[in-house]
Structure 1
Amino acid sequence: MSLGFQNKPLDTCRAYYRFLVLFFNCMVSFGSYFCFDIPSVLQDQFQGNLTCHYRTFTNHSRACVEGLGMSPQEYNLLYAICAWTTAVVVIMAGFLIDKLGNGFGLFLFSFLTVLGSAIFALGSHFKGTPYLLPLMLTGRLLFGSGNGSLSILQNRVTAFWFKRKELALATSLTISFSRLGSVLNFFFTLQFNSHYGIQWTLWGGTILCVLSFLGAIVVSVLDIVGVKQLGLDEAINKESKNVRVQDVRHLSLQFWLLNLNIMFFYTAVYCFVADASKFIQDKYDGYDQRTAGYITGAVYDCALVLAAAVGLLIDYIGMRGVLIFLCSVLTLPVFALLAFTYVPPLVSTLWLGVTYSFAAASMWPSIPLLVPHATLGTAMGLTLSAQMIGVGLTNLIVGTILGTKSSEAKIPLWRWQQMIILILVITMACVATSIALNIVDKKQGGTLNRTHKRSREAEAELSPILKMDDNRHLN
């Protein structure tokens, strides 16, 4: 099979092919990341009144916000069920991807995000009925099944095609393009909702998931064709057949510590972003819903702007373990400022965006350094599972802290402070695991702090496939 003009096959040994794969790989989760945080932008609408026939009051105005009538606990359950579902599914998904290949996974899991987002949007048409919450939770359940698994696939495709050559750059670009979906969500969703309503807004997210589904099909074709032209398809199939569940026992202590570090860091970031818009409106004077959404989105704005530069820097200097530690430590002041001061919230969200950018570019590219390529999907699945267990559990705790009543008025500030202190404690745990990770890594030869050249050599030792391809390394 060949692709290209005039029936000339694409030269998979050229850089342009790798970056063509990367371009479509970046599209795979764009739509799902847009959909994931729609509830965060429209929190007032999700928790608003079913009707506005009676005089009610919102945070900073005397106008009624018509919405779906959810309580804060029910709202946080939308995030919790997505996280818990991802936590369960990605373990099995990672193993299946290792056994059956990227093409199978890309089709199945991108389709699940489309189906889940469609059911979620459909549920919004049943407001005021007993069917609303079950339908929306079912949609988030299916959506979570696909969304987390797509992250595994993106990282697996990136790890193969970039093999320590611009790996941090490629990973950062993949994450940042996914986060572009989140950024556009924070910028445009509220405005779209004001013109067309919450139902059409949710269906718009579904349409974006369909576009990502098409991108996933293209990546699948490019990946299959490229592997065949490199002559590695038989070796990959053979290696995949040898993958066993028992291989988990051979994962290193470094991997498990990195796993915990990712769990704590992302739990803190995701759980803050989920409620940040309403938190800003309730605590700080003069911020309406739109402004609060923009400020919350600054976390992902930074990741979008800094991604390429941060990725290139880490590819050049290595020092992933050290950067993971620094990101953990430097995130502590963010939540301390939010919990105990009235420093403008934009300072905290921009600060968090910078540490998030460096953390994402340091943590995820470290996983292929610590595990063989054949079990990379399983390792990614375990990592995402731990991450989502942390997020899901914390979302449930946050929902309990903030209360079970509909939040038409302000949630008391002491409740918000308790929530931020909880996230601060989680970040402290992240610091502790990052210290342990660096200590163990140093004893094991400093794998995480190597430069990209030495990392490539180390990865080739882990994977027979990469060793076979060493002489035809992608330009």
Structure 2
Amino acid sequence: MQWTLWGGALLCVLGFASSVIVSTLDEIGVRQLGLDGAIQEESRKVRIQDVKLLSVRYWLLVLTIMFFYNGIFPFIADASKFIQDKYSYYSQKEAAYIVGAVYDSLVVLSAIVGILIDYVGLRGVFAVACAVLTLPVFGLLAFTFVPPLVSTIWLGVTYSFAAASMWPSIPLVVPQATLGTAMGLATSVQMIGIGISNLVVGQILGTKSSETKIPLWRWQRMMIFMLANTISCIVTSVLLNVVDHRQGGTLNKTTKKSGQEQSDPDREPLTQAEEEPNEQDGDAVRSRSINS
């Protein structure tokens, strides 16, 4: 355990160093492109009140992310114990390896899936597909004795596609100046959902000792709760695609179609309220020019 903690501390230091390097490179790149002044000017227009004016697509995307991760993190937290209780022939070490297959799948697939989605597009479709294909995972774990490694690898595959399609969609539905706020708010909502889910799972399992064997029916109820979150994710992702289609289909544009468009329609205006005054000002200027 001591080496594990030191390893985690080392990763935190590496992460901090990497963030400093990336921030520096980003600052240099923005200056070289001559965008630093424009970004600063646009950022100064942002007010905290603008949070309530973020688009419906953004909030549906945030809820889709939250519900999907509600079924991932609470499950992984208790999966090792679940495997030992349901499949009594697995040791604690073997159960931990099986649970780790979720992240092993991510290591193998994340880069490949990211390249695929960048090439194909269709992020909204992938979000729905990830949620739908995650449903059998919890069904198998709850009501069958299929080897758990099948379910954890399966979950790792859908997790890879979800991470590569959902989070990168946020910059497509919010203005550049509010991107940091939007990402931070999405993370907060996600963590609130995961925290509540962990509390619910704790109540369902109803034990205070990790040594106590939990009855199978309690584990089944936990998996049903995971299924409920996944179904909620399907609902919000479908609604996301419907709204996105009505607003131009930004999330589901293919790379070929996007490349044919010279303008950048993927950015939403900061607020509708700001666009309307600008249009009115333009009309007023034209009227004065005609009258003069």
How would you bin the TM-score normalised by the shorter chain? Answer: 0.7 to 0.9
Structure of larger gyration radius: 2
SS state at 2:214 partner = coil
Question: What does 1:180-191 correspond to in 2, within 5 Å?
Answer: none
Superposed displacement of residue 285, structure 1: 2.7
Q: Which residue of 1 aligns with 2:67?
A: 264
- Amino acid paired to 1:377: G
Superposed displacement of residue 403, structure 1: 2.3
Higher deviation after alignment, 301-310 or 326-335: 301-310
Kept in 1: contact 2:176–2:267 (CA 8 A): no
Deviations 1:57-116 (A, max 9, x none): xxxxxxxxxxxxxxxxxxxxxxxxxxxxxxxxxxxxxxxxxxxxxxxxxxxxxxxxxxxx
Superposed displacement of residue 460, structure 1: 5.7
Q: Which residue of 2 aligns with 1:407?
A: 210
Question: What does 1:48-447 correspond to in 2, within 5 Å?
Answer: 198-447=1-250
Deviations 1:435-455 (A, max 9, x none): 211111111121111023628
Report the Cα distance in structure 1 between the residues aligned to 2:267 and 2:229, rounded to whole angstroms: 35
Kept in 2: contact 1:369–1:448 (CA 8 A): yes
Report the Cα distance in structure 1 between the residues aligned to 2:127 and 2:11, rounded to whole angstroms: 33
SS state at 2:266 partner = helix
SS state at 1:410 partner = coil
Report the Cα distance in structure 1 between the residues aligned to 2:232 and 2:19, rounded to whole angstroms: 36
Q: Which residue of 1 aligns with 2:251?
A: 448
Report the Cα distance in structure 1 between the residues aligned to 2:20 and 2:185, rounded to whole angstroms: 25
Report the Cα distance in structure 2 between the residues aligned to 1:200 and 1:353, rounded to whole angstroms: 26
Deviations 1:412-454 (A, max 9, x none): 2222111111111111111111121111111112111102362
Deviations 1:284-340 (A, max 9, x none): 132112211111111121122112221222122211111111111111000000011
Superposed displacement of residue 462, structure 1: 5.2
Superposed displacement of residue 461, structure 1: 6.8
Kept in 2: contact 1:271–1:394 (CA 8 A): yes
Q: Residues 283 and 363 of structure 1: is their aligned pair in 2 closer, same or farther, counting only changes over 3 Å?
A: same
Superposed displacement of residue 230, structure 1: 2.1
Report the Cα distance in structure 2 between the residues aligned to 1:211 and 1:327, rounded to whole angstroms: 31
- Amino acid paired to 1:319: L
Deviations 1:202-221 (A, max 9, x none): 23321221222222222222
* Identity fraction in percent: 65
Report the Cα distance in structure 2 between the residues aligned to 1:290 and 1:432, rounded to whole angstroms: 37
Deviations 1:107-163 (A, max 9, x none): xxxxxxxxxxxxxxxxxxxxxxxxxxxxxxxxxxxxxxxxxxxxxxxxxxxxxxxxx
Question: Which residue, out of 265, 268, 280, partners 1:458?
Answer: 265
Kept in 2: contact 1:299–1:349 (CA 8 A): yes
Q: Which residue of 2 aligns with 1:180?
A: none
Report the Cα distance in structure 2 between the residues aligned to 1:285 and 1:309, rounded to whole angstroms: 36
Structure 2 spans left out of the alignment, 5+ residues: 271-292
Structure 1 spans left out of the alignment, 5+ residues: 1-197, 464-475
Report the Cα distance in structure 2 between the residues aligned to 1:440 and 1:233, rounded to whole angstroms: 33
Report the Cα distance in structure 2 between the residues aligned to 1:454 and 1:326, rounded to whole angstroms: 22
Q: Which residue of 1 aligns with 2:290?
A: none
Kept in 1: contact 2:114–2:164 (CA 8 A): yes
Kept in 2: contact 1:369–1:447 (CA 8 A): yes
- Amino acid paired to 1:393: I
Report the Cα distance in structure 2 between the residues aligned to 1:379 and 1:230, rounded to whole angstroms: 24
Q: Which residue of 2 aligns with 1:171?
A: none
Kept in 2: contact 1:369–1:458 (CA 8 A): no
Kept in 2: contact 1:373–1:462 (CA 8 A): no
Kept in 1: contact 2:172–2:267 (CA 8 A): no
Report the Cα distance in structure 2 between the residues aligned to 1:341 and 1:320, rounded to whole angstroms: 32
Q: Supply the RMSD in Å over aligned alpha carbons.
A: 1.8
Kept in 1: contact 2:173–2:268 (CA 8 A): no
